[in-house]
Amino acid sequence: MLSLEDFFAYGEAGYSHVPIWQSLPLPPGVEAISLYEALANCGQDYLFETGHYQEGVFEQTYSVIGLPCSQRIELDEGVLRLYRDGELSIRTECGDPLAELARVQKDFRIPHCPGLPPFSGGFFGYFGFETTRLIESRLRRVPRKPSGFELPDVLQLISTDLIVLDHRKRLAFCIVHECPKALGDYQNGLDRLNRMVAHLRPLLVAPAPRVQLTEVTPLGAQSAFPQPAFVEAVARIKDYIAAGDVMQVVLSQRMSLPFEEDAVALYRSLYDLCDTPYRYLLNLSDCQVVGASPEMLFRQEAQTVTTRPMAGTRRRGNAVAEDHRLKEELLADPKEIAEHMMLVDLSRNDLGRLASVGSVHVTQLLNVELFSHVMHIVSTVTGQIPDHVSGLELLKSIFPAGTLSGASKVRALEIIAELEPHSRGVYGGAIGYLDWNGRADLAIAIRTALLHDARLYVQAGAGVVQDSVAEREWQETMEKSQLIRVAAGRCEALAQHQEVAYAFNDR
């Protein structure tokens, strides 16, 4: 725990906020979603979990439980809004809202404290797909279609009180931030920390086993982009490609279905269905974003930046032998390989705009990774950036991922805006954190559901190139949406199972 002397020493050094923390042993089997449900889950809060595959075995690394945040920032074209305790506090009209966001971020000067997890406070939220209009002025000339949701292009919670589970060290960190101005500030922070620890300690137990369902049918969904119109849009993209306008465009469709269960139930269902590098639940009171994304936009750790382009898809097989056959088929498909290599080059170019000369390398190429319902070709690109380059500057250079837009990127974005019936909103953007000390970890918002007004919305895309077959691209979007639709079906089946159990017990 940070001492009173160190707290004020940081204040004298010019830091605006100082973390105060305590760690507890993390017993095996503790689930972050249960802690989130007990300690947060009331709006303006979040859960963010990360992990990776090591030699085919999934290892969970961190779970971040963001307790309800009193401040949030919203960006739209030409405006930044800062809310405090749910009320609009500051509205700034500006030509570059992302630059204004960077200025707000710089107001938070936080010391780097050894021993804390990679993320111990900062911005957490999403950058919606239409953040592209804040980055590229040419796109602001393209007529904007409604998304169907009243959500800002960018939403960031200012996360100061949080719990981080370090699954490698088997520690649970309780962290608060306080302004180092007076003796009472330290005591206020300490009181908040002690309350957090007292609430957390009895919850650090493994949950009771949950009901496991062997087979669940994915729920059907209503498309906002019916197949005939989708097929026609694919043909239009191929015309643009033939004319030399663009090389590839990622075309997507949005689906929706009735859904009465809550976001925690959907998250649990996704958790039980698959291991994936990113899982998240962002609770915005009137809507929730729940996802299990396999794909990184970028990760910034000090001067090292990593991106992992993912393109090339097949469904999972019913057995190991079929998985192997589909993997070999995928790697032998010239269309899939050409599309993937084009996007690797795009990632290299995006990162190369800010990276030190000669530091960008492809460290892994054409590796097939298996997920719950599909397999993907994945490569890894890394680079070294100068000290002064921030996560927001990286975002401007890299966003959106080429795997969600196409190449050349700006022209592909114009074509997407022309052909898709709605603005994308959260889908295809990024979800994750930007901390106050040069770290960032952002997932691409795919395999992601938006819950609003008792409906679930899910969107998925496919990369269209010159030799694309429209019906196959449509089928790819259905396969990519299957994880969310299965998870939703599982929620409903579990709810029915519980109702049957309760009815039986009542007799």
Is 122 marked active-site? no
Tell me the β-bridge partners of 370.
375
Q: Locate 46 and state its tokens.
A: 């979040």
Length of the chain: 507
Nearest to 460 by CA among 468, 470, 449, 451: 449
Q: Rounded distance, CA 282 to CA 36, Å?
A: 11
Residue of 447, 452, 485, 490 with catalytic role: 447
Nearest to 399 by CA among 127, 94, 73: 127
Q: Locate 449 and state its tokens.
A: 């559901």
Nearest to 496 by CA among 221, 208, 216, 257: 216
Q: Rounded distance, CA 50 to CA 321, Å?
A: 29
Residue of 276, 463, 477, 485 with catalytic role: 463
Is 268 marked active-site? no
Report in angstroms the alpha-carbon separations of 195 from 71, 192, 335.
21, 5, 57
Q: Rounded distance, CA 147 to CA 226, Å?
A: 17
Query: Which helix (H) or strand (E) is 495 found in, with range?
Result: helix 482-506
Peptide bond into 294 cis (omega under 30): no
Is 427 marked active-site? yes
Bridge-based pairing of strands 57-66 and 45-54 is antiparallel
Q: Rounded distance, CA 140 to CA 363, Å?
A: 36
Q: Rounded distance, CA 446 to CA 295, Å?
A: 8
> DSSP secondary-structure letter at 155?
E
Residue of 299, 348, 376, 490 with catalytic role: 376
Is 46 marked active-site? no
Q: Rounded distance, CA 466 to CA 338, Å?
A: 11
Is 463 marked active-site? yes
Q: Rounded distance, CA 18 to CA 14, Å?
A: 10
In whole angstroms, what separates CA 283 from the centre of its chain?
13
Q: Are 376 and 312 in contact (CB under 8 A)?
A: yes
> DSSP secondary-structure letter at 1?
-
Residue of 267, 271, 427, 457 with catalytic role: 427
Report in angstroms the alpha-carbon separations of 154 from 74, 76, 449.
6, 7, 17
Q: Rounded distance, CA 324 to CA 316, Å?
A: 10
Q: Are 407 and 349 in contact (CB under 8 A)?
A: no
Residue of 50, 131, 403, 448 with catalytic role: 403
Q: Rounded distance, CA 496 to CA 489, Å?
A: 11
**Which residues are annotated as catalytic?**
376, 403, 427, 447, 463
